[in-house]
Structure 1
Amino acid sequence: MAVCCDLEVDVNGEETFLVHKKIVGSYSGRLSKLFGKSTNAKRNKVVFHDFPGGAENFELVSRFCYNEGKIDVNPSNILFLYSAAQFMEMNTSVSGTCNLLEKTKKSIEEISYWTWSDLLVALKHCQDLQPIATFSGVLEKCLDSLVGRLAITSEASPCASTSSPDSSGFRLSCDSRSTESLKNSFSRATWWFEDLSVLSPDLIGMLIELMVSRKYNHVMISRFLFHYQKSKFCTASSDEKCKVLEIVIDMLYTLDPISISCKNLFGILRVVLSLKIGKSCRNKLESMIGSQMDQATLDNLLIPSPYGSTYLYDVNLVLRFLKAFRHGGGWQLSPMRMKKVASLIDLYIAEVAPDPCLKSSKFLALLVALPDSARDSWDELYHAMDIYLEVHAGLSEEEKMKICCALNYEKLSTEACMHLSQNARFPSKSTVQALISQQLKLKNLLQGTNNTKLYTDSPLNFNDIQGKAKKDEATKQVVLYSGRLDISAENEKLRAHLQRMQWRVVELEKVCKKMQTQMAKIMKSKVSSHSAARSLPRLCS
């Protein structure tokens, strides 16, 4: 026994092996250097603290030595055997047999011929020995072959995933029926999602980078990343979840923004809010969401404020979204997108306005976050401001004026201006400004009327005249109401001017009534002449 097993090998403290020093040493340069030509029959002991693959892998190496260099190198052991061959310096051939290092390198060169299942098996082992896998080229070749298969079969489906008994490759879909459902089509396109979800975040990052460089479909990549995040979260710890999120967000950031689902981004955001991920990664997520603000909904934006805050919703987060949207060229590239975002923000402002803890500076920041060109009407914002001032009745006059300075009076409707002119919650300067704005509109209206001539022999639209009269009546009400305002002495000139405008409105109303009477006579005469024409007998031919 002492002659046959004269070497004791302690492998990483896991297990101790008794082997023949001469047999193992003839294949291992490391052991050969260690013992030299010693013929001491005394048993020697070697302790390895960092043997790659542990005791199980050392057993494989021992079998290789005892079987005279014969061993089956396959995807499940190639990386372990290669790493052991490097560690033990097994680059010496014995009796014409191929040494272990050469044998594993030859197998690595044949990775491109492996099946899909073989590639997955090898990649799982690469996760455990990533430095060696990277150095040996196994990881790079496996990923390269994997992406190549996906590119070739982007419109095909495999026999099944790795759980299928048939692991020899792929089969093209032969079902070309026109009635096939979209669900089945999607399943064929995403057959690889579940298989690759077992990989570590680091390998997924490397895989996605390679797919992007190979011009793989960005929409499919983004769908896989969202699937990967959900599948990994089932059993992951908090630290593992952070790692997964950071990789997913970093990879999504490299894709074309239009290929990423805005809804799914908000789904990731809600998860991120409960975890501590890096600031850089979070900024990337907010930037991606901001670039798609026109695809968001009000429910997406109603995100509760951070823990410890007094206000209800996270207004700062929405402001950062808007900043990202602006920097993305939202209003420069598409005015339609900008108006869509403005409509959404108007709803959001109305929703947060009743919050008694919302500071006036934050409310004002929301009002001015978008350019004035984004809105055709300011009525919704006026009503939101009215609610805010009602809830925050304790604001100083200066704070109220800062908020009111953001209001665009020219884009308020007549009804909104009338409401504002008698709204005690707004500063007096603001009510006067509303009247001045309406005065300018009325002035332009009157100038247009004075330049209009009535021709009885030209076709007139009675509905247009009625609409004009109604509009003038509404304007008249605003001017008449100004007479009941408590205007200070320095505004007496404004009072007199408004009274003159009131008189002109009355005159305009008389002109409109006269036009209506003339139009009625014209229409009546046309009807009479038409009836008379139909009563005449037809001439005989």
Structure 2
Amino acid sequence: MEALCDLQVDVNGEETFMVNKKILSSYSGRLGKLFSKSSCSTGNLKVIFNDFPGGAESFELVCRFCYNRSKTEITPLNATLLSCAANFMEMSNSISGHSNLIEQTEKSLEEIRHWTWSELMVALRQCQNSFPVASKSGLLERCLDSVTTRLALASERSPSPSTSSSDYSGVRFSCETKSTESLKSSFSRANWWFEDLLVIDVSLLVMMVGSMIKQKVEHAAISKFLFFYQKSKFHTAMSHEKCKIMETVVDLLHSLEPSSVPCKSLFGILRVALGLNISKGSRNKLEIMIASQIDQATLDNLLVPSPQGTNSLYDTNLVVRLVKAFLKEGTSGVPEVQLKKVANLMDLYIAEVAPDPYLKPSKFLALATVLPDSARDSFDCMYHAVDMYMEVHAGLSEEEKIKICRALNYRKLSAEACKHLSENSNFPSKIIMQALNSQEFRLKSLIRVSSNTSAFTSSPCSFSGNIKKDEAGEQIVLYAGDLDLSTDNVRLRAQLQGMQSRVTELEKLCRKMQTQMAKVLRSRVSSSHRSRSLPRLCS
């Protein structure tokens, strides 16, 4: 009499089943080929599966199908398990006219678009647990497409999809299955699916986002989900797992439309990423994304602590890289509005880091000169930052101070700033003279504008625009368009008188600064002759 249970099957070390070899091998092509090659025809045999999809639960369902002669209940909750197991066991044999297990599960999977959201989540987890087989058979892709199609429809119809729709009956809020009210309040109605998709691991996340993009899910929603995923997964992840999660999230964010990824959120994960050993490629992608919208950043965003092992307070190298990348991205020219915003932000940042006693002159100069002069209408803020830096770093050599002053455009200094500079003992005499000369050029330009324009106030006339250049080669617009002096003569004379008065004041200020400068130079020469070994006192 044939033994009823003559085969032991060890399933992934979880459980050992005693089954009938003939029954299982008649349905399973994999077992049939295995036994046909075996030299043992009698006695008990043992088969060990180390990678059976779905584990012991899935193998038990296969056994029931075989013992019930191709009859078993296939539902959305077990169709994925059975499909993966059937493909693994090569169950394409038909017995007594019944369809084989692969055919039966395929018929059930054709209805996947009608499954409820919770059934889709179960199927997704089962595919993940049976990843190699589910991926090879195409089942995983079908499951992902069904999930993301549902999400795309949800974003089109409403942020809170109805559960009564015939082709959309399974969508529900994830918070309905949670036991606490805190979880319900933690998600907006548009983000109801975030919590549910935390079940996927980082390797499946790439396929999921790829499917979302293909199904045209809004990039802004994908971006929010990725930030949520990274933050949530980090709570329980090990150090090496955090690196993998961060690199994957950054790479996926980089594939989205730049406008859909908030600058503030990028700075948030940047601070986290700096503490991890992520790849250089991922870090570069993160910095490029931030640089493309750095004009939207705040001072707090830029104040990133310096890396371990450095004495300076803030990571100035990072800020320089971000600004350079911002300028490089705008190869056809950065819009002036954006450029001005970045310049204002950099002025705030430089003023914040200037008092750092450990900030090297080369680092400070790199910050101060990373933007072109055209980005700033005034260099007063930069002057005050340079003054502050020199005051804190009193030990700088004359040569180092002159190098740092390269960051200043003296022609864009106000008269008040230039006056302060002329009396500032922190600055080398050579720099003060350069500043005074620049102011003198400005005065001559103003005087020339005033004199040239006043020549036309004696009688009414009509004239076209004219452009002249000062000695430094800068263009000065004297007048433009048609001007009827017969109607506006009184108003124009008043304006010119005001301009001439201002020029007179500037001339007086310039002469005063030159006098003060001469005194400073004489006092420095005198003190130098008296004792070269004594340090110069600050006034």
State the TM bucket, normalised to the shorter chain: 0.7 to 0.9
1:442 counterpart letter in structure 2: L
1:483 matched to which residue of 2?
515
Partner of 1:394: 395
> Would the aligned equivalents of 1:330 and 1:338 in 2 still touch at CA under 8 Å?
no
Residue 191 of structure 1 aligns with an amino acid whose one-letter code is W
Q: Mean alpha-carbon deviation: is it higher for 304-313 or for 274-283?
A: 274-283
Conserved? CA contact 1:27–1:94, under 8 Å: yes
- CA separation of 1:300/1:471 partners in 2, compared to 1, >3 Å: closer, same or farther? farther
- Number of matched pairs: 472
Whole-angstrom CA distance in 2 between matches of 1:39 and 1:225 = 55
**d(CA) in 2 for partners of 1:471, 1:193:** 66
Q: Distance in 1 between matches of 2:511 and 2:382?
A: 24
Q: How far 1:339 moved relative to its partner?
A: 0.5
Q: After superposition, what is the alpha-carbon deviation per residue over 1:127-163, rounded to whole angstroms, capped at 9, x for unaligned?
A: 2222211111111111112222222221322357xxx
- What is the rounded CA distance, in whole Å, between the counterparts of 1:350 and 1:266 in structure 2? 21
Match of 2:501 among 469, 475, 488: 469
Q: 1: CA distance between counterparts of 2:256 and 2:351? A: 34
Corresponding residue number in structure 2 for 1:15? 15
Q: Cα–Cα, structure 1 residues 410 and 242, in superposed 2: closer, same or farther, change >3 Å?
A: same
Q: Measure how far apart 1:377 and its partner are.
A: 0.2
- SS at 2:48's partner residue? strand
Q: CA deviation at 1:273?
A: 1.7
Q: How does 1:85-104 map to 2 (within 5 A)?
A: 85-104=86-105
SS of 1:84's equivalent?
Answer: helix
Counting only pairs closer than 5 Å after superposition, residues 137-176 of structure 1 correspond to structure 2 as 137-154=138-155, 155-156=157-158, 157-159=160-162, 168-170=169-171
- Alignment partner, residue 535 of structure 1: none
Q: State the alpha-carbon separation in 2 of the partners of residues 484 and 24 from structure 1.
A: 105
Tell me how far 1:381 sits from its aligned partner: 0.3
- Is the contact made by 2:423 and 2:516 (CA closer than 8 Å) also made in structure 1? no
TM-score w.r.t. the length of structure 1 is 0.81
Alignment of structure 1 residues 365-514 onto 2, 5 Å: 365-451=366-452, 452=454, 458-460=489-491, 465-466=497-498, 468-470=500-502, 472-486=504-518
Q: What is the alpha-carbon distance in structure 2 between the residues aligned to residue 115 and residue 472 of structure 1?
A: 83
- Deviation for aligned residue 1:261: 0.9
Structure-2 change in CA distance of 1:385 and 1:455 (3 Å): same
Question: Counterpart amino acid of 2:28?
Answer: S
Structure with greater Cα Rg: 1
Question: Using the alignment, how far apart are the partners of 2:448 and 2:346 within structure 1?
Answer: 37
Give CA deviations for 1:262-314 in whole Å, capped at 9, x if unaligned: 11111111111222211111111111111111100011111110111011110
1:61–1:84 CA contact under 8 A, matched in 2 = yes
Is 2:114 aligned against 1:113? yes
Deviation of 1:46 after TM superposition, in Å, equals 2.9
Distance 2:93 2:101 in 1: 8
1:351-408 residue CA offsets vs partner (Å, 9 max, x unmatched):
1111111111111111110011100000000010011111112112211111112210
User: 8 Å contact 2:264–2:297 — kept in the other structure?
Assistant: yes
2:116 maps to 1:84? no
Give, in whole Å, the separation in 2 of the partners of 1:53 and 1:273: 39
Does the residue aligned with 1:306 lie in a helix, a strand or coil? coil
Kindly provide the amino acid, as one letter, of the partner of residue 3 in structure 2: V
1-structure distance, mates of 2:137, 2:92 = 15
C-alpha contact 2:294 2:323 (8 A) present in aligned 1: yes
Look up the match of 1:294: 295
AA aligned to 1:264 is S
* AA of the residue aligned to 1:472: T
AA of the residue aligned to 1:459: V
The amino acid across from 2:371 in the alignment is: L
Q: Residue type matched to 1:256 in 2? A: E
1:146-188 Cα deviation digits (max 9, x unpaired): 222222221322357xxxxxx942489xxxxxxxxxx99x933
Note closer, same or farther for the CA distance 1:137–1:329 as it changes in structure 2 (3 Å cut): same
1:201 & 1:39 partners in 2: Cα distance? 44
5+ residue gaps, structure 1, are 161-166, 173-182, 490-541
State TM-score, norm by structure 2: 0.81
How far is the alpha carbon of 1:443 from its aligned partner? Answer: 1.4
CA distance in 2, matches of 1:245, 1:278: 10
Give 3-state SS (helix, strand or coil) of 1:82's partner. Answer: helix
Which AA in structure 2 matches 1:480? K
1:28 paired residue number: 28
Change (3 A) 1:219 1:38: closer
Identity within the alignment, %: 56
| Aligned residue type for 1:484 | Q
* Shift, 1:240, TM fit: 2.5
Name the counterpart of 1:4.
4
> 2 CA distance for matches of 1:464 and 1:193?
67
SS of the equivalent of 1:304 reads coil
State the alpha-carbon separation in 1 of the partners of residues 349 and 228 from structure 2.
Answer: 30
**Aligned partners of 2:232, 2:216: CA distance in 1, in Å?**
25
* CA offset digits 1:455-489 (Å, max 9, x no partner): 69942475874575255324412212312323879
- CA 1:426–1:34 in 2, change beyond 3 Å: closer, same or farther? closer
- The aligned counterpart of 1:43 is 44
Secondary structure of the equivalent of 2:447?
A: helix
**Higher mean C-alpha displacement, 469-478 vs 147-156:** 469-478
Inter-partner Cα distance in structure 1 for 2:57 and 2:215:
38
Cα distance change of structure 1 residues 398 and 266 upon mapping to structure 2, 3 Å threshold: same
CA distance in 2, matches of 1:484, 1:357: 34
Return closer, same or farther for 1:291/1:410 CA change in 2, 3 Å cut-off: same
